[in-house]
Every structure is written in C-alpha cells, then in structure tokens.
Chains A and B, each alone.
Chain A
Amino acid sequence: AQTVTQSQPEMSVQEAETVTLSCTYDTSESDYYLFWYKQPPSRQMILVIRQEAYKQQNATENRFSVNFQKAAKSFSLKISDSQLGDAAMYFCAYRRGLNRDDKIIFGKGTRLHILP
C-alpha cells in the first residue's frame, strides 16, 4: 500500500524568508503523481504544485518549487519570499498514474505559520 509521511506537524518562518516542508512516500509503482495542497482556514483544498514521477525536472510555480528525489522517495516543498497569505495547512499527496482508481492519498499535513 502507498503511504505519505510528513514528519513536521508545524513550522514557522519569518515573512519574506524561505521555508522547506518535507515529505516522504512509499510506493512500488513506477508511474505516479505527487502534489502539494494548501488548506487555509476557509478549508478549501487548493493545489499548489504537481510533479509527474516520470519527469526528472523539478516542478516550479512562481514562489513554490519542489525537490523531487525519486530514488529516495522524497518530495519537499520550498516556499520562497514567504507571505502572510501562505499561512495554512500543507498536505503532501500521492496519486497512482494510469489507474481507474485514481484516489489521492494524503499525508497528515504540516501547519505553516508566517511571522510578520
């Protein structure tokens, strides 16, 4: 069975600084997707960034980038120039590729605090 582990329940970062959230996963599949979702107090789960396992290049979306280490099964999220609006729960997630049962498996989350 696939699992996703986030070992940092909470993190804090000063506004405008850089922070890295960690995630490891376990799977025997070769084709899959990895995600970082943001869940602010409004509860709506928002996709931050997505990485296809077959792509060696790390995904980037503006201030958000990932460090995808496939052999180590590690998938960290770096947030640069942190802003107050970045404060939220962040979930690392996994999804098998090319499969009819395309459920998303989530980690337990990391609560990110932004210090003004």
Chain B
Amino acid sequence: LAKTTQPISMDSYEGQEVNITCSHNNIATNDYITWYQQFPSQGPRFIIQGYKTKVTNEVASLFIPADRKSSTLSLPRVSLSDTAVYYCLVAYGQNFVFGPGTRLSVLP
C-alpha cells in the first residue's frame, strides 16, 4: 500500500533553518517528489520539486538520497510568514499521494 509519511508538526524560531522529512518507501523509479505550502483558506502552493540528489531554488532546497525512499525539504532562515502546512506529494502509479502535512509554527 502506497504511503507517504511526515511529522505532524514542528516548531522553529525566526532565522533558523528548518528541515522537514517525508518518507515514501514505494516510490517508483520515474516519480518526482514535490513539496507544497498551504496557508489557511488557500490552495497549496508549489515550493520545489526533485528527482534525485539536491535541488535548490530561491526559497528552498530539496535533498533526496540515492535510494529515494525519503526526501528532506530545507527552508533557510525561516520567518513568521513561513508558518503554514507543508505537504510532500509523490505519484504512485496513477494515484497521487500527499503526505499528511507538517504544520510548521515559526516563533518570534
């Protein structure tokens, strides 16, 4: 059974680096891992996507080990506005499976 798991919640302080890990044991060889951010009353918003090794964009980095059974979203120097729920998304066959979401609270 395809399953994607994440920590339910995390706390951090402004200016710190935050790492959120997603486990996806049954990922297929050609599937990408994608991360989304969601604020209350809004749809999820794309953060970053990767297939293997490391990907970096202007807002985050994504680390994927060689076995691809997990991935880690890294948010550098978080601010209060990064308080949100973060989801990883993996496609298993024809079914797109979101993780349960990690509620990140950034404290001043």
| A complexed with B | no
